[in-house]
Amino acid sequence: MNNIHKKHLKKIEKLQKFRKTKSKKKNDLNGKENNSKEESNINRKESGSEKIVNEESVNEKLNDTDNTKVIKDKKRKMNDEDNNDVKKIKSCSENKDFVDESVADAQTPNEDNLIESLPNQEASLPPSKEFKSLEGLVCEKTLKGVFDMGFTQMTEIQYKTVMPLLNGRDLLGAAKTGSGKTLAFLIPTIELLYKLNFMPRNGTGAIIISPTRELSLQTFGVLRDLLQHHQQTFGIVMGGANRKQEAERLQRGVNILVATPGRLLDHLQNTPGFVFKNLQCLIIDEADRILEIGFEEEMKQIIKILPKKRQTLLFSATQTRKVEDLARVSLKKAPLYVGVDDDKEVSTVEGLEQGYIVVPSEKRFLLLFTFLKKNMKKKVMVFFSSCHSVKFHSELLNYIDIPVMDIHGKQKQQKRTSTFFEFCTAESGILLCTDVAARGLDIPEVDWIVQYDPPDDPKEYIHRVGRTARGSQGRGHALLFLLPEELGFLRYLKHAKVPLNEYDFSKAKISNIQSQLEKLISKNYFLNKSAKDGYRSYLQAYASHQHRNIFNVNTIDLQKVGLSFGFTVPPNVNLSVHASNSNKLQKRNGATVYGTGSHGFKPSKSVKRFKPLNKLNDRR
Task: Kindly report, residue by residue over 263-278, the tens digit of the pLDDT.
Answer: 999 999 999 999 999 9
- Least confident segment among 21-30, 360-369, 407-416: 21-30
State the amino acid at position 281 in one-letter form: C
pLDDT given for residue 560 in this prediction: 95
CA distance 102 to 122: 35
What does the pLDDT average to over 540-545?
91
Quote the mean pLDDT of the chain: 75
Q: Who wins on pLDDT, 352 or 85?
A: 352
CA distance 268 to 274: 7
CA distance 188 to 137: 10
DSSP lists the bridge partners of residue 407 as 433
- Which burial class, exposed, middle or buried, applies to 484 when counting CB atoms under 10 A from its CB (0-12, 13-18, 19+)? exposed
pLDDT given for residue 460 in this prediction: 84
Residue length of the chain: 620
DSSP state of 100: -
Whether 201 contacts 100, CB under 8 Å? yes
- Kindly indicate the confidence band of residue 117, based on its pLDDT and cuts at 50, 70 and 90: very low
Q: Which of 450, 442, 452 is nearest to 375 (CA)?
A: 450
What does the pLDDT average to over 372-387?
94
Q: Who wins on pLDDT, 427 or 18?
A: 427
CA distance 312 to 280: 9
Helix ranges, 109-204 (H): 140-148, 156-166, 181-195
- Least confident segment among 109-113, 452-456, 504-508: 109-113
Is residue 543 over pLDDT 50? Answer: yes
pLDDT given for residue 445 in this prediction: 80
Whether 571 contacts 585, CB under 8 Å? no
- Kindly indicate the confidence band of residue 450, based on its pLDDT and cuts at 50, 70 and 90: very high
pLDDT given for residue 468 in this prediction: 63
CA–chain centroid gap for 402, Å, is 32
Tens of pLDDT, residue by residue over 32-43, are 444 444 444 434
Q: Who wins on pLDDT, 58 or 148?
A: 148
Is residue 207 over pLDDT 60? Answer: yes
- Check: pTM over 0.75? Answer yes or no: no
pLDDT given for residue 573 in this prediction: 81
CA distance 171 to 156: 15
pLDDT given for residue 13 in this prediction: 53
Is residue 111 over pLDDT 70? Answer: no
Q: Who wins on pLDDT, 257 or 85?
A: 257
Task: Return the exposure string of 3-42: e unless at least 16 CB atoms fall within 10 Å of the residue's CB, then b.
Answer: ebeeebeebbeebbeebeeeeeeebbebbeebbeebbebb
Q: Who wins on pLDDT, 20 or 421?
A: 421
pLDDT given for residue 374 in this prediction: 93
- Least confident segment among 67-81, 88-102, 452-466, 474-488: 88-102
Tens of pLDDT, residue by residue over 392-419, are 999 999 999 999 999 988 888 788 888 8
Is residue 24 over pLDDT 70? Answer: no
Q: Who wins on pLDDT, 254 or 323?
A: 254
Sheet of 501-502: strand order equals: 405-407, 429-433, 379-383, 448-451, 476-482, 352-358, 501-502
What are the backbone angles phi and psi of residue 6, rounded to the nearest 5°? -65, -40
Tens of pLDDT, residue by residue over 565-580, are 999 999 988 776 444 4
- All structural domains of the chain, each given as residue ranges with its CATH number in brackets, are 131-339 (3.40.50.300), 352-515 (3.40.50.300)
Non-local (6+) Cβ contacts of 309 within 8 A are 112, 113, 117
Is residue 18 over pLDDT 70? Answer: no
Is residue 494 over pLDDT 50? Answer: yes
482, HSE (Cβ side, Cα atoms, 13 Å): 24
pLDDT given for residue 497 in this prediction: 80
Q: What is the dihedral of CA 534, 457, 174, 467, to 10 degrees?
A: 40
Q: What is the dihedral of CA 516, 520, 521, 523, to 10 degrees?
A: 140
- Kindly indicate the confidence band of residue 176, based on its pLDDT and cuts at 50, 70 and 90: low
Is residue 6 over pLDDT 70? Answer: no
Q: Who wins on pLDDT, 97 or 345?
A: 345
Long-range contacts of residues 412-420, Cβ cutoff 8 Å, at least 24 apart: 412/240, 413/213, 413/238, 413/239, 413/240, 413/241, 414/240, 416/213, 416/214, 417/213, 417/214, 417/217, 420/214, 420/217
- Kindly indicate the confidence band of residue 349, based on its pLDDT and cuts at 50, 70 and 90: low
Strands 429-433 and 311-316: unpaired
CA distance 620 to 436: 6
- Kindly indicate the confidence band of residue 504, based on its pLDDT and cuts at 50, 70 and 90: confident
Tens of pLDDT, residue by residue over 298-348, are 999 999 999 999 999 998 877 777 788 888 888 876 788 887 655 554 455
Q: Who wins on pLDDT, 278 or 611?
A: 278
CA distance 565 to 531: 6
48, HSE (Cβ side, Cα atoms, 13 Å): 1
Q: Who wins on pLDDT, 555 or 86?
A: 555
- Least confident segment among 6-10, 311-315, 548-552, 585-589: 585-589
- Least confident segment among 187-196, 475-484, 558-567: 475-484
Q: Who wins on pLDDT, 61 or 485?
A: 485
pLDDT given for residue 505 in this prediction: 81
- Kindly indicate the confidence band of residue 586, based on its pLDDT and cuts at 50, 70 and 90: very low
DSSP lists the bridge partners of residue 432 as 382, 406
- Kindly indicate the confidence band of residue 351, based on its pLDDT and cuts at 50, 70 and 90: low
Is residue 212 over pLDDT 90? Answer: no
421, HSE (Cβ side, Cα atoms, 13 Å): 12
Is residue 14 over pLDDT 70? Answer: no
